[in-house]
């Protein structure tokens, strides 16, 4: 036993810090003349894209951005946003992507909290941003305004034009901070999720494996890049050298033009965006199927069926900002291909298993013991591993709370099926407790979703004198009529009586966050009112 | 500037050591009932495969294998070899895969050098192994003999049957040693290439991305697992949950049965194995194309064309044992799809660019300066990064020599093309120096390969009174006749006169190592004799 020779120090020749910046350098070399980025009438090759990023590094440097500095970006899916994802860390800084639908007070809070030195912002957001900047006064970051199509007066294009190109600085420490992504904060203050180079690199390789991206793919930016760095697709797409097709606005017509004219093969979306796609007047079956990753909530079976008719193959993934986006995938077992449609829908609605770069998900009780794998016992979903945040920026208390027991607590309630697939039942705070019974609102929502007339649905609890709380449903219809009583009867056939909504309200639309998540707290206010 | 908060210590919740062992644990959970391993009439699901590995861990533990212990494996592509790749590190040990074509003296050297505690060996190799064990005497490792199909008296099956299953121990340090892979040693003593958990994990993710493996794939083990751990496919195939189809002997009939009956989608091979495949009497066009990764040497254009007619799509990769197998890929640019066949062959013959997990390859002069990107200037190919060995086991001198200047020196001579693709010209030691001119023998080989009658070729230098050395060619024909003079004339039309072989000898077969590499030193002896 010469045990001392088992772990020789790793020589520099056998080590390289894991960083997604390396993906860009490779693609600019290997795929130099291939199209990298398309934005309407503009497009760039990989060599040109890298040159723009190198100019951006030089420009940021000239604006004083140095090691560790935070640079906020409030942009839709335009080339500047993609360029910043490489240029900011390439200048040694930390990118802070901001949701484009925040209110002035939220912008002010986040900009101050992250201590941004610079803000690169969409001119169209000036009405929300200027009051925030005014409020911050001397503490406000400098702003570089971006105009559509890089038109006259676009300060980002001016910054690039004036800059001396600089090489990207790769981190010495792969665990260095790459971005801070603020949670949407449906309750309380937004928290800054810290994302590292190592985590982003590994998560990207997982995305490539799960989505099957290759150089022959083409990716349509329906998912906001500000949302968990576009679920790491800002890195994964670049790694494979396929094409980024920007889409500043999520509109059915623009999406279908992209799908047809740009040879799109992959896109990501919340269920609400799938609704936009399949209900667009431009919708028509695609010659070559595309792969769509859906996250946020399981899409309704009827929606999946309509999408598949159009040639859109859906993969269901699950994660949070704290897990770099999709941590789990409803990994489709080929043995399920021939199951009846209803069973396939039920299987696909599950959040699934960790991706190949994720550690195993657990569903645990309050003492962190695994709940039985019975598909019934409710517990909290907890995760750990390389694609879990290293903590909340400047918030050790929230970090400690989220990491209690050595696991990241998702706040999502779910069950573990006998086959090891997780299925969410609800957010912890969204459970309705009626007459002492816990009602997972998602279960009621799924029951309503099975009705062919239902397009979207949300169930919340309303205060009730007798039961404490009762479930109330808000339903968007698909055009064909269905009255509330019919829907209640439909649920009653499928679920226990105490789970049947006391009221079903037909509404035109559900209130949503900028990332398409339903704002249940608004519905709760309405149900209580 | 709050610089101190940029690099918080990584909490345990956000960290997991990178190890390919995690791939098996995931697949056994996610794909539990799917087929994992097929060996003739035997097959196991992923759950069963993990259970066998857990038994193997228990059995190895019972045989005294503990942290850091070396366990050698001299086995063809049978399930035991795959199981050992997980069970040995899962018991905390280090696997030492041995080439099944070594001579007794070579086995004795390697077993002694690595200090193996245990040897798991194929009964069919007893004639070569027993003398080695006898020579080692008391220093010889215990042996567990493996019989075909796990038949009566198979000690490996007995070890599993008697064992108490144990969980796999994951390494605390991702840079811990996972395997020691001895080079084939065409000259000098074999050297033990040290491979880590981190390197294997990252290399595997690169393989998945480059090969496009998914759960719907099926992998045929034509490439020996003892060769760089099967170029990391022992890990990559397991990660995606697709099927390992074992193939103890590389025979045309068995390969075609696998391709047809097992729904094979992917395989790897040296060019010589492709010859076996396309020239098999069982060869017939496949309904669904398969992907074949070729390494070791660029296949002849005529061979590629014949393979493609049969539905075999060829990707050319390049690497060494020191780089976990294929470090580079001739990444196929879709823009080349429509080029004329001859140009496509020329492009595909290049060794290419680093994979998405590799650092950039360099071609350098003796002072480690990059040669011009002109496709002409000759230099040595050097590499570094996570999929480069951490050094030679117990050989600091050889390590220092190979790592001089902070780069791993491949010993391969090549050029850098203007598009950043590397093309090998020769092994450093294989260059023929004739009348003061350097002749890259590979260039002469490629010229001969372009002749339709040529199946395989090797060019070496022979001593010559006037020129110092002259090139001599050894050619295997494809059946149709072609005489030496015709072949020399063919080369003369394509290359400078001093590069034309002075002699062309028609031979029945070329001498090869166990991994299919041509043994040029033997040909040099013959040419000199």
A14, B199: Cβ pair inside 8 Å? Answer: yes
Contact residues, chain B, for A94 at CB < 8 Å = 6
Helix pair A233-240, A197-211: axis angle to 10 deg: 60
A13, B68: Cβ pair inside 8 Å? Answer: no
The total domain count for chain B is 2
Indicate the SS3 state at residue B450.
Answer: coil
Contact residues, chain B, for A5 at CB < 8 Å = 393-394
Indicate the SS3 state at residue B409.
Answer: strand
B209, A239: Cβ pair inside 8 Å? Answer: yes
Least confident of A343-357, A430-444, B119-133: A430-444
Largest Cα span, chain A? 78
Query: How far apart are the CA of B475 and the nearest CA of chain A, in angstroms?
Result: 35
Out of B1, B23, B212, closest to residue A356 by CB: B23
Q: Do B410 and B272 reside in the same domain of the chain?
A: yes
Dump pLDDT digits (tens) for A73-111.
999 999 999 999 999 999 999 999 999 988 888 899 999
Contact residues, chain B, for A33 at CB < 8 Å = 335
Q: What are phi and psi of A372, to 5 degrees?
A: -60, 150
Q: Which residue of A has its CA nearest to B205?
A: A205
Who contacts A436 (Cβ-Cβ below 8 Å, separation ≥6)? A468
Query: How far apart are the CA of B15 and the nearest CA of chain A, in angstroms?
Result: 5
B386, A15: Cβ pair inside 8 Å? Answer: yes
Any idea what the Cα angle at residue A370 is, between residues A367 and A375, rounded to 5°? 130
Rounded Cα distance between A82 and A226, Å, is: 10
For residue A433, what pLDDT band results from cuts at 50, 70 and 90? confident
Dump pLDDT digits (tens) for A114-123.
999 999 999 9
Dihedral sign of CA atoms A245, A249, A250, A254 in order: negative
Rounded Cα distance between B299 and B66, Å, is: 43
Out of B33, B209, B384, closest to residue A13 by CB: B384
B176, A7: Cβ pair inside 8 Å? Answer: yes
Integer Rg of chain B from CA:
23
Per-residue pLDDT, B69: 98
Q: Do B448 and B525 reside in the same domain of the chain?
A: yes
Out of A68, A357, A359, closest to residue B6 by CB: A68
Q: Do B275 and B400 reside in the same domain of the chain?
A: yes
Out of A115, A331, A335, closest to residue B2 by CB: A115
Per-residue pLDDT, A4: 42
Rounded Cα distance between B350 and B213, Å, is: 23
Q: Which residue of A has its CA nearest to B388?
A: A14
Out of A22, A202, A353, closest to residue B29 by CB: A353
B477 within some domain: yes
- Residue ranges in A63-103 assigned as alpha helix (H): 79-90
Rounded Cα distance between B203 and A122, Å, is: 40
C-beta neighbour count of B315 within 10 angstroms: 21
Q: B438: domain range?
A: 431-529
Q: What are phi and psi of B299, to 5 degrees?
A: -70, 150
- The three-state DSSP-derived secondary structure of B318-354 is EEEHHHCEEEEECCCCHHHCCCCHHHHHHHHCCCEEE
Out of A29, A31, A334, closest to residue B216 by CB: A334
Contact residues, chain A, for B331 at CB < 8 Å = 30, 215
Beta strands in A87-212 (DSSP E): 94-97, 118-122, 142-146, 177-182, 192-196
Indicate the SS3 state at residue B30.
Answer: helix
- Polymer length of chain A: 529
Q: Do B327 and B462 reside in the same domain of the chain?
A: no
CA distances A524 to A437, A445, A528, B252, Å, are 19, 15, 6, 69
DSSP letter at A332?
P
B10, A419: Cβ pair inside 8 Å? Answer: no
Phi-psi category of residue A231: left, alpha or beta, with phi > 0 → left and psi -120 to 50 → alpha: left
Rounded Cα distance between B328 and B295, Å, is: 10
B356, A3: Cβ pair inside 8 Å? Answer: no
Cross-strand pairs, B180: B194
C-beta neighbour count of A131 within 10 angstroms: 15
Q: Do B418 and B435 reside in the same domain of the chain?
A: no
Contact residues, chain B, for A384 at CB < 8 Å = 12-14, 16
A435 within some domain: yes
**pLDDT (average), residues A262-289:** 93
Indicate the SS3 state at residue B385.
Answer: coil
Rounded Cα distance between B170 and B178, Å, is: 11
Examine the fold and report which residue of B382, B400, B429 is the final residue of a domain before the chain moves on: B429
For residue B272, what pLDDT band results from cuts at 50, 70 and 90? confident
A334, B388: Cβ pair inside 8 Å? Answer: no
B192 within some domain: no
Q: Which residue of A has its CA nearest to B399?
A: A11
A523 within some domain: yes
A237 within some domain: no
Who contacts B493 (Cβ-Cβ below 8 Å, separation ≥6)? none
Per-residue pLDDT, B473: 95
For residues B351 and B319, the answer to whether their CB atoms sit within 8 Å is no
Examine the fold and report which residue of B391, B414, B429 is the final residue of a domain before the chain moves on: B429
For residues A92 and A67, the answer to whether their CB atoms sit within 8 Å is yes
pLDDT of B321 over the 70 cut: yes
For residue A148, what pLDDT band results from cuts at 50, 70 and 90? very high
**Nearest CA-CA partner of A159 in A46, A85, A53, A39:** A53
For residues A419 and A239, the answer to whether their CB atoms sit within 8 Å is no
Q: Which residue of A has its CA nearest to B383?
A: A13
Examine the fold and report which residue of B406, B429, B452 is the final residue of a domain before the chain moves on: B429
Q: For position B403, which CATH number holds?
A: 3.40.50.12780
Q: Which residue has the higher pLDDT, B520 or A97?
A: A97
Q: How many CB pairs under 8 A join A and B?
A: 189
HSE-CB of B227 using CA atoms within 13 angstroms = 24
Dump pLDDT digits (tens) for B157-179.
999 999 999 999 999 999 999 99
Q: Which residue of B has its CA nearest to A4?
A: B68
For residue A341, what pLDDT band results from cuts at 50, 70 and 90? confident
Dump pLDDT digits (tens) for A12-23.
899 999 999 999
B240, A386: Cβ pair inside 8 Å? Answer: no
Rounded Cα distance between B277 and B289, Å, is: 14
Rounded Cα distance between B358 and B414, Å, is: 18
**pLDDT (average), residues B128-138:** 96
Indicate the SS3 state at residue A284.
Answer: coil
Q: Do B336 and B409 reside in the same domain of the chain?
A: yes
Q: Do B295 and B392 reside in the same domain of the chain?
A: yes
pLDDT of A5 over the 60 cut: no
- Polymer length of chain B: 529
B331, A406: Cβ pair inside 8 Å? Answer: no
Q: Can you tell me the ipTM of this complex?
A: 0.87
Per-residue pLDDT, A105: 86
For residues B182 and B190, the answer to whether their CB atoms sit within 8 Å is yes
Q: For position A476, which CATH number holds?
A: 3.30.300.30
A67 within some domain: no
A479 within some domain: yes
Rounded Cα distance between B325 and B106, Å, is: 22
**Nearest CA-CA partner of B256 in B297, B287, B294, B301:** B287
In this structure, the strands spanning A118-122 and A70-74 are: parallel
For residue B3, what pLDDT band results from cuts at 50, 70 and 90? very low
pTM for the predicted model, two decimal places: 0.88
Q: Encode burial over B173-190: b for 16+ CB neighbours within 10 A, e otherwise.
A: ebbbbbbbbbbbebeeeb
Indicate the SS3 state at residue A187.
Answer: coil
For residue B185, what pLDDT band results from cuts at 50, 70 and 90? low
In this structure, the strands spanning B192-196 and A218-220 are: unpaired
Rounded Cα distance between B233 and B266, Å, is: 10
Per-residue pLDDT, A271: 81
Rounded Cα distance between A266 and A285, Å, is: 16
A490 within some domain: yes
Least confident of A429-438, A454-463, B110-119, B412-421: A429-438
Rounded Cα distance between A57 and A83, Å, is: 9
A14, B331: Cβ pair inside 8 Å? Answer: no
A26, B354: Cβ pair inside 8 Å? Answer: yes
Helix pair A79-90, A21-30: axis angle to 10 deg: 110
Rounded Cα distance between B277 and B253, Å, is: 8
Dump pLDDT digits (tens) for B446-479.
889 888 899 899 999 888 877 778 899 999 998 7
For residues B277 and B312, the answer to whether their CB atoms sit within 8 Å is yes
């Amino acid at each position: 036993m010469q045990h001392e020779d088992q772990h020789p120090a790793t020589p520099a020749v056998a080590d390289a810090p894991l960083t997604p910046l390396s993906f860009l350098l490779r693609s600019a070399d290997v795929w130099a003349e291939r199209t990298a980025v398309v934005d309407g009438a503009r497009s760039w090759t990989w060599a040109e894209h890298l040159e723009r990023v190198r100019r951006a590094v030089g420009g940021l440097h000239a604006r004083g951005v140095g090691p560790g500095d935070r640079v906020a970006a409030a942009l839709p899916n335009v080339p500047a946003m993609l360029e910043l994802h490489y240029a900011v860390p390439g200048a040694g800084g930390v990118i802070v992507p901001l949701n484009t639908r925040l209110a002035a007070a939220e912008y002010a809070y986040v900009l101050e909290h992250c201590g941004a030195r610079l803000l690169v912002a969409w001119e169209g957001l000036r009405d929300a941003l200027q009051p925030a900047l005014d409020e911050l006064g001397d503490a406000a970051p400098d702003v570089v305004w971006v105009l559509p199509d890089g038109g006259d007066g676009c300060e980002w294009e001016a910054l690039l034009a004036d800059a001396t190109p600089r090489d990207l600085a790769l981190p010495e420490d792969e665990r260095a901070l790459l971005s801070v992504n603020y949670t949407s904060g449906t309750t309380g203050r937004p928290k800054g999720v810290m994302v590292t180079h190592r985590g982003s690199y590994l998560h990207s390789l997982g995305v490539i494996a799960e989505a099957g991206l290759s150089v022959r793919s083409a990716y349509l930016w329906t998912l906001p890049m500000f949302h968990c760095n576009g679920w790491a697709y800002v890195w994964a797409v670049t790694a494979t050298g396929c094409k980024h097709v920007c889409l500043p606005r999520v509109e059915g017509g623009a999406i279908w033009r992209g799908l047809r004219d740009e040879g799109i093969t992959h896109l990501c979306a919340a269920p609400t965006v799938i609704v936009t796609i399949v209900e667009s007047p431009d919708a028509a079956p695609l010659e070559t199927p595309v792969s769509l990753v859906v996250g946020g909530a399981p899409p309704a079976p009827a929606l999946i069926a309509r999408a598949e008719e159009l040639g859109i193959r859906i993969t269901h993934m699950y994660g949070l900002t704290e897990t770099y986006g999709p941590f789990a995938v409803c990994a489709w077992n080929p043995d399920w291909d021939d199951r009846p449609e209803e069973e396939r829908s039920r299987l696909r609605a599950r959040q699934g298993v960790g991706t190949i770069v994720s550690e195993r998900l657990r569903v645990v009780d309050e003492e962190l013991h695994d709940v039985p794998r019975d598909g019934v016992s409710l517990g909290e979903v907890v995760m750990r591993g390389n694609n879990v945040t290293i903590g909340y920026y400047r918030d050790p208390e929230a970090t400690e709370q989220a990491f209690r027991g050595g696991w990241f607590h998702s706040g999502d309630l779910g069950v573990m099926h006998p086959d090891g697939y997780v299925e969410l039942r609800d957010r912890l705070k969204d459970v309705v407790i009626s007459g002492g019974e816990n009602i997972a609102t998602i279960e009621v929502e799924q029951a309503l979703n099975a009705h062919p007339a239902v397009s979207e649905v949300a169930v919340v609890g309303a205060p009730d004198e007798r039961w404490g709380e009762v479930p109330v449903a808000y339903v968007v219809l698909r055009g064909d009529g269905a009255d509330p009583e019919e829907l209640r009867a439909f649920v009653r056939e499928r679920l226990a009586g105490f789970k049947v909504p006391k009221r079903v309200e037909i509404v035109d639309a559900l209130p949503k966050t900028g990332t398409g998540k339903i704002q249940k707290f608004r519905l709760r206010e309405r149900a209580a009112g």
